């Protein structure tokens, strides 16, 4: 099959990663892969300069292979490795490939190495456009002709809802186009019978996250990164001058960016299209909220306005007007910042490398399986699983949101968003606004102890902030226990305030202090402290130690009545090794730290042309970070504790590297990454591995190592970790409240908390699930400090497939 990929509509980070994944997965599936430059416009223009042969300097010994390459029909990996030399479209103008002009050629053949390193590039390297001509039947007829001329019968389109609608329409009209072209004598009988059906699959590249039936669109996480980076920068100047900033972010019909930025960066007020202010006098509502924040001592104000924001009568709410209101009514020194295209640009974050890679692979599978009777599919992600959904259903649902907003049916617009959107909005209200009245009556209020355990992880502070603000809203007393159980025994406990935790969303590390001491250090003394400080509930934020600590406390209930209170564990660890949860706080931050470090290392490795860099990661006995990091950085090999290392494996790996470097085009060898988890093997250490590669590499490649160590704990937590922290933390608080209230029904002296009141909050396929710690222990590998089952095991297979290892050895 000849398979082409194009990017269309507004660009987004991760589009180039889609192209890379489609080209590589296509080649691995035996397809001939093509790229269409400049979106549908390229399809319409096609190749006018057909005289240019593929003039690659081809040292194939086998004449048949040489012929296949020359005729553009190379299909196996080795031929495709030789075919691509990594220069396609790389000169910045997109006009040259391998030294020959591409002018007049919009549909070009792409080999394996042409897309080398593309996952790290922002925007789309193959160009995108908004094509008016493609909107016309004549334009689409020309596009059909151009595809048939090159023998292409499958198309992967990455773009927004407009692009996907265009794709579906094109496919539905295809049979009539083929008949017309045949009757006009433009295509042969053979072409007529061969191209009766066009296979199409869509991927959603859109920074707004505005497509229904998928949790995330490609590019949205990176745009959120850019916004939060900007806010973190603005915050320091806002606080210095005690200013108000009104930030306009993208999102015409979708408030996802504004909402998530509001939660992640701790805004004072947000305006989104789906949920306009409830009253006509929203100016009063906003000013009251901000005035209250100022009265408790807040020095800075942040209001986020989605570009499509409006009031309940659909009158647009503009950033400039919001600024004027703040200046005139509150006397604040107010400024507007419009982020504009800054949001689109830059290097993709880790998730915008992983998601397009996995989705690109799925797109190729879907296109191969497509028949005239199957609908055009859109590749989405739902509940941490890559999905296929009927493309037009997703488009129709997306449009329904815009229609509901236009009809002022905002309840419907909200109902068409996923539940996480609604939870995030509730979370924003709870954590950002200061409420005058306490929600709960005196007897229902709790003294909640909050403790960090184990190593620091991004999002610990954001989770604490959310918990504190929830407590204050409800009337509970939030108590910080500093330095874990050690601090508890030293009475390092103090009450946290609404303002005191204000800037904590963006702070890395642990503001409370954390260590690995377990309550078993002196369980009786721990119980005495619980009693002395009259804790009604406990929240532990941490990794495997926190889980262990909760287990010890639950077991301790048989001895100490003080432990008969609700207790929760919110997993936060860069290793992501807490059983039964797919994500821990901090793992996204860590993955991004790894991607940043590896991008820099890879650059250095590439500069020396032939260097293999062995990068050692943390993660203890859990290979999550190493494996997902390898997928996000395009590492050639990955070593994990789950799989271990042995001689046969190493022999095959050396053989692979030798073949791979041997196949690199002359003078075009590149640096390659190998990622090794620190505990992958006691014998085959990182330095031993590096030495082995150096010796075995001979003249072909050299080797160095880098240990990332504590860099992986990350600096500033990522928006994903911050938003997740707030969402999970609020659920923890609601859980504690609920169990506390049922315990209140029992006499104080003989209160007996049920086992399920000591639980861990887990993410299982995107749903939040409570697992009693007594149940969780059955799923834990206590010796290796990790879960017995892992969801990411298959990712390693793809790391090796996309590096070519599985094919070459």
Catalytic choice (153, 208, 653, 721): 208
Residue nearest to ligand ATP (CB): 162
Q: Note whether 251 binds ligand ATP by CB under 6 A.
A: no
Positions in 117-156 near ligand ATP (CB under 6 A): 130-131, 134-135
CA distance 592 to 225: 11
Residue 78 CB neighbour total at 10 angstroms = 17
* 678 in a known ligand binding site: yes
Q: Note whether 618 binds ligand ATP by CB under 6 A.
A: no
Q: Which helix (H) or strand (E) holds 795?
A: helix 793-803
Positions in 171-230 near ligand ATP (CB under 6 A): 206
CB of 256 to ligand ATP, least distance (A): 13
Which residues are CB-contacts of 391 (< 8 A; sequence separation ≥ 6)? Answer: 164, 167, 168, 200, 202, 375, 376, 377, 378
Q: Note whether 159 binds ligand ATP by CB under 6 A.
A: yes
Per residue, what are the HEC states of 261-310?
HHHHHCCCEEECCCCCCCCCCHHHHHHHHHHHHHHCCCCCEEEEEECCCE
* 191 in a known ligand binding site: no
Which one, 251 or 478, has the nearer CB to ligand ATP?
A: 251
CB of 95 to ligand ATP, least distance (A): 22
Nearest Cα residue to 252 out of 310, 299, 297? 310
* 536 in a known ligand binding site: no
* 10 in a known ligand binding site: yes
Residues 16 and 351 sit within 8 Å (Cβ to Cβ): no
Q: Note whether 163 binds ligand ATP by CB under 6 A.
A: yes
| Residue 208 among the catalytic residues | yes
Which residues are CB-contacts of 496 (< 8 A; sequence separation ≥ 6)? Answer: 450, 464, 468, 478, 479, 480
CB of 272 to ligand ATP, least distance (A): 17
CA distance 589 to 710: 12
CA distance 206 to 691: 44
Binding mask 16-55 for ligand ATP (x = CB under 6 A): ------------------------x---------------
- 80, 124, 165, 337: residue in contact with ligand ATP (rule CB under 6 A): 165
Residues 8 and 157 sit within 8 Å (Cβ to Cβ): yes
Task: Identify the DSSP state of 333.
Answer: -
* 79 in a known ligand binding site: no
Q: Note whether 399 binds ligand ATP by CB under 6 A.
A: no
- 42, 54, 117, 160: residue in contact with ligand ATP (rule CB under 6 A): 160
Q: Take residue 701 and report the two structure tokens written for it.
A: 């490649």
Site size for ligand ATP, by CB under 6 A?
A: 17
Between helices 256-265 and 419-432, what is the axis angle to 10°? Answer: 40
- 72, 104, 151, 162: residue in contact with ligand ATP (rule CB under 6 A): 162
Binding mask 82-121 for ligand ATP (x = CB under 6 A): ----------------------------------------
CA distance 545 to 543: 5
Q: Note whether 620 binds ligand ATP by CB under 6 A.
A: no
CB of 189 to ligand ATP, least distance (A): 29
Which one, 275 or 344, has the nearer CB to ligand ATP?
A: 344
Task: Identify the DSSP state of 47.
Answer: B
Beta-ladder partners of 758: 567
CA distance 797 to 434: 49
CA distance 394 to 18: 20
Binding piece for ligand ATP, criterion CB under 6 A, among 4-12, 588-596, 733-741, 779-787:
4-12
Instruction: By CB under 6 A, name the binding residues for ligand ATP.
Output: 8-10, 40, 130-131, 134-135, 159-163, 165-166, 169, 206
Task: Return binding residues.
Answer: 10, 130-131, 160-163, 206-208, 243, 250-252, 307, 335, 341-344, 516, 573-577, 611, 618-620, 678, 704, 785
Catalytic residues: 208
């Amino acid at each position: 099959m000849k398979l082409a990929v194009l990017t269309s509509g507004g660009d987004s980070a991760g589009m180039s990663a889609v192209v890379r994944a489609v080209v590589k997965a296509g080649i691995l599936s035996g397809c001939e892969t093509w790229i269409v430059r400049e979106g549908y416009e390229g399809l319409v223009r096609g190749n006018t300069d057909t005289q240019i042969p593929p003039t690659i300097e081809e040292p194939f010994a086998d004449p048949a292979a040489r012929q296949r390459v020359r005729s553009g029909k190379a299909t196996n990996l080795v031929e495709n490795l030789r075919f691509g030399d990594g220069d396609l479209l790389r000169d910045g103008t997109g006009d040259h490939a391998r030294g020959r002009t591409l002018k007049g050629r919009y549909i070009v053949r792409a080999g394996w190495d042409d897309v080398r390193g593309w996952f790290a590039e922002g925007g789309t390297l193959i160009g995108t456009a908004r094509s008016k001509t493609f909107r016309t039947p004549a334009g689409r007829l020309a596009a059909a002709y151009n595809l048939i001329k090159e023998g292409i019968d499958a198309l992967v389109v990455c773009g927004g809802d407009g692009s996907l609608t265009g794709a579906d329409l094109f496919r539905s009209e295809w049979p009539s186009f083929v008949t017309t072209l045949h009757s006009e004598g433009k295509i042969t009988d053979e072409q007529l019978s061969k191209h009766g059906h066009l296979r199409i699959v869509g991927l959603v590249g859109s920074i707004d996250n505005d497509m229904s039936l998928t949790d995330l669109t490609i590019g949205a996480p990176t745009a959120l990164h850019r916004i939060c980076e900007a806010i973190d920068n603005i915050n320091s100047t806002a606080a210095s001058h005690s200013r108000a900033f009104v930030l306009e972010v993208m999102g015409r019909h979708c408030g996802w960016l504004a909402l998530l930025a509001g939660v992640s960066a701790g805004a004072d007020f947000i305006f989104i299209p789906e949920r306009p202010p409830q009253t006509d006098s929203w100016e009063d509502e906003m000013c009251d909220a901000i005035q209250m924040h100022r009265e408790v001592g807040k020095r800075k104000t942040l209001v986020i306005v989605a570009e499509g924001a409006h009031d309940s009568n659909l009158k647009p709410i503009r950033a400039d007007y919001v600024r004027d209101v703040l200046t005139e009514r509150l006397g604040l020194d107010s400024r507007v910042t419009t982020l504009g295209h800054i949001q689109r640009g830059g290097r993709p974050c880790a998730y915008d490398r992983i998601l397009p890679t996995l989705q690109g692979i799925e797109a190729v599978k879907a296109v191969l399986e497509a028949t005239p009777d199957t609908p055009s599919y859109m590749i989405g992600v739902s509940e941490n699983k890559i999905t296929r959904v009927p493309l037009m259903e997703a488009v129709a649902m997306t449009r329904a949101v815009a229609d509901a907003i236009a009809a002022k049916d905002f309840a419907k617009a909200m109902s068409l968003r996923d539940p996480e959107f609604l939870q995030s909005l509730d979370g924003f209200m709870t954590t950002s606004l200061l409420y005058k009245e306490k929600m709960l009556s005196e007897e229902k209020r709790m003294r909640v102890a909050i403790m960090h355990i184990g190593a620091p992880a991004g999002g610990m502070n954001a989770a604490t902030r959310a918990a504190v603000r929830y407590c204050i809203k409800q009337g509970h007393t939030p108590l910080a226990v500093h330095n874990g159980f050690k601090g508890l025994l030293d009475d390092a406990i103090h009450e946290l305030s609404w303002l005191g935790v204000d800037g904590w969303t963006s702070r890395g590390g642990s503001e409370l202090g954390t260590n690995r001491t377990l309550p078993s250090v002196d369980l009786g003394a721990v119980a005495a402290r619980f009693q002395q400080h009259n804790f009604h509930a406990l929240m532990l934020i941490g990794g495997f130690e926190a889980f262990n600590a909760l287990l010890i406390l639950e077991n301790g209930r048989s001895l100490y009545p003080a432990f008969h209170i609700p207790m929760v564990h919110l997993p936060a660890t860069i290793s992501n090794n807490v059983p039964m949860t797919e994500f821990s706080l901090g793992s996204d931050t860590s993955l991004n730290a790894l991607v940043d470090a590896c991008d820099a290392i890879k650059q250095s490795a590439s500069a020396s042309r032939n260097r293999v860099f062995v990068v050692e990661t943390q993660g203890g006995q859990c290979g999550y970070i190493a494996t997902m990091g390898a997928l996000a950085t395009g590492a050639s090999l990955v070593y994990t504790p789950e799989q271990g290392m042995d001689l046969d494996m190493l022999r095959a790996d050396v053989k692979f590297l030798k073949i791979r470097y041997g196949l690199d085009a002359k003078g075009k060898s590149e640096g390659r990454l190998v990622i090794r988890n620190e505990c992958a093997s006691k014998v085959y250490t990182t330095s031993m591995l590096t030495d082995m590669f150096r010796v075995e590499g001979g003249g072909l490649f050299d080797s160095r190592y880098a240990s990332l160590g504590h860099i992986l704990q990350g600096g500033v937590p990522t928006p994903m970790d911050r938003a997740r922290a707030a969402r999970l933390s609020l659920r923890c608080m609601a859980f504690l409240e609920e169990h506390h209230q049922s315990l209140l029904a029992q006499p104080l002296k003989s209160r007996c908390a049920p086992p399920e009141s000591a639980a861990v909050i887990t993410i299982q396929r995107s749903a939040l699930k409570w697992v009693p710690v007594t149940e969780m222990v059955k799923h834990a590998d206590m010796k290796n400090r990790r879960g017995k089952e892992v969801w990411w095991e298959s990712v390693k297979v793809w790391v090796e497939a996309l590096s070519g290892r599985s094919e070459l050895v």
